[in-house]
């Protein structure tokens, strides 16, 4: 092997590295050069999809999309040690912010992540960030991480945990078209991890990819006992032929905030004589596929009719009237519900 002579190591361009035959990798010589590159990437975007972000690492709200980043040594990035939650922004109000925030902190406690701020401060940050964003319709997403500091498994030596949040400008409207779903063959999470909202979503991603490969919208998980569990990032609900609204028990799945609100609102249809009862219960796949109507339930849907499962029609294979009646109940709650459910955003 030829010996290496450092005196002959010359580069024609100090900003490029590489050897003969290799593509040269650019070396950014300054932060301003890197920022210019990031701005260039965003320059072709006509509408900013993320009008505001908060980072406790930076200590404030960020409006420049090029700076909406998190450190690579953050344990949420390289170890998946983080939790998250969401809330809907609709007509200038935050829907169910408090119940989502409570679940967020329960998930953080289960994941052994302490918040850098008290709950009241987290809530205030989210409201202020939404106000500054000027977004009237969309969603919030926010994370608690074990924080940046190193690439070890344990976060013990990390200086502090981290809180991040972002406003997502997107259309939020009722879903009136039905979708098709399939049974997922991807193993679902164990109850410990399924009941907390962590950033470990690889099973969820693989589950929805599997569905898309089969021409379906999404999938349904079935637990090891053969009972219907949930969708990849939503709950699922059924209306039986006896007009009972049934949601799977939350013991082994995420306790969906919108699903729980649906259980609170649905008795109105019982009072009107449209539904016989409202409950949570275990359902086998056979029982579930024999339902008259089926739907996904989630924050940004809020209800999405399901018309076929594994190519088998649900009911008559059409969007059900009771599904839409339930959707109307939740939607009305979102746009004109009580102050306990809706927080007005003080836009600046």
Q: Is 197 a catalytic residue?
A: yes
CA 112, 168, 149 angle in degrees (round to 5)? 35
Residue from 129, 131, 155, 140 nearest 56 by CA: 129
3-class SS of residue 341: coil
Give the DSSP letter string of 163-197.
Answer: EEEEEEE-------S-EEEEE--SPPPPHHHHTS-
d(CA 147, CA 81) in angstroms, rounded, equals 9
Phi, psi of 219 (to 5 degrees): -130, 175
Location of structure tokens 């406003």: 167
d(CA 244, CA 270) in angstroms, rounded, equals 9
- β-strand 303-309 against 312-313: which pairing, if any? antiparallel
Beta pairing partners, 24: none
Beta pairing partners, 167: 52, 140
Is residue 103 within 8 A of residue 257, CB to CB? The reply is yes
Residue from 213, 84, 209, 222 nearest 144 by CA: 84
Residue from 141, 146, 80 nearest 108 by CA: 146
Which residue in 180, 189, 197, 260 is the catalytic one? 197
Beta pairing partners, 227: 284
Query: Which active-site residues does the annotation give?
Result: 197
């Amino acid at each position: 092997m030829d010996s290496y002579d450092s005196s002959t190591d010359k580069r024609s361009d100090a900003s490029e590295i590489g050897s003969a035959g290799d593509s040269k990798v650019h070396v950014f010589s300054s932060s301003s050069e890197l920022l210019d590159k990031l701005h260039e990437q965003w320059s072709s975007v006509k509408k900013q999809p993320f009008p505001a972000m908060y980072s406790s690492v930076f200590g404030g709200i960020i409006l420049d999309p090029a700076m909406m980043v998190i450190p690579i040594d953050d344990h949420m990035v390289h170890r998946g040690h983080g939790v998250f939650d969401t809330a809907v922004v609709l007509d200038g109000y935050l829907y169910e912010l408090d119940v989502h925030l409570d679940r967020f902190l329960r998930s953080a406690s289960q994941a052994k992540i302490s918040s850098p701020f008290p709950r009241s401060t987290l809530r205030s940050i989210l409201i202020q960030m939404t106000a500054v964003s000027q977004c009237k319709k969309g969603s919030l997403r926010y994370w608690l991480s074990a924080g940046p500091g190193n690439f070890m498994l344990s976060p013990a030596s990390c200086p502090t945990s981290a809180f991040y949040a972002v406003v997502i400008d997107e259309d939020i409207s009722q879903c009136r078209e039905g979708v098709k779903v399939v049974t997922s063959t991807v193993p679902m999470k164990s109850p410990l991890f399924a009941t907390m909202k962590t950033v470990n979503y690889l099973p969820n991603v693989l589950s929805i990819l599997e569905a898309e490969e089969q021409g379906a919208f999404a999938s349904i998980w079935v637990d090891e006992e053969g009972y219907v569990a949930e969708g990849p990032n939503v709950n699922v609900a059924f209306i039986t032929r006896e007009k009972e609204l049934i949601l799977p028990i939350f013991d082994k799945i995420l306790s969906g905030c919108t699903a729980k609100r649906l259980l609170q609102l649905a008795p109105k249809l019982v009072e009107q004589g449209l539904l016989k009862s409202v409950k949570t219960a275990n359902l086998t796949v056979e029982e579930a596929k024999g339902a008259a109507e089926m739907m996904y339930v989630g924050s940004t849907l809020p209800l999405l009719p399901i018309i076929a499962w594994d190519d088998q029609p649900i009911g008559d294979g059409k969007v059900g009237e009771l599904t839409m009646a339930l959707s109307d109940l939740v939607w009305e709650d979102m746009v004109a519900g009580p102050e306990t459910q809706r927080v007005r955003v003080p836009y600046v």
